[in-house]
Amino acid sequence: MQKGSFYKLLSGFILLTPFTVNAHPGHGDHTHDGFSVIHYFTEPEHIAVVVAVLVTVVIALMVRRQNARKKMS
């Protein structure tokens, strides 16, 4: 993928993100601890985001490790 098309695609995703999000009960409600870290791990609506972040971190670490091995050899 060319660099220019990557940035266009990334910009499109960033601009379209607000159309894909919605709030559910618990956000902004201080009685049910809607602003805690625990909320993001216990509400089913956040599972996809948590999984996506974890997968991204694992892939980034794998790529980083491969690049380090290539530099050493």
Task: Tell me the pLDDT tens digit for each residue of 14-63.
Answer: 888 877 776 666 665 555 555 667 777 777 777 788 888 899 999 999 99
pLDDT at position 27 is 61
Euclidean distance between CA atoms 4 and 33, whole angstroms: 43
| φ, ψ (nearest 5 deg) of residue 35 | -105, 20
CA gap 48, 63 in Å, rounded: 22
CA 24 to chain centre: 18
**Residue 4 pLDDT:** 78
**In the chain, where the domains are located:** 1-34, 43-73
| pLDDT for res 41 | 72
Tokens in use for 57? 């971190």
Output the pLDDT for position 56: 93
Taking the mean position of all CA atoms in its chain, how far away is CA 72? Answer: 31
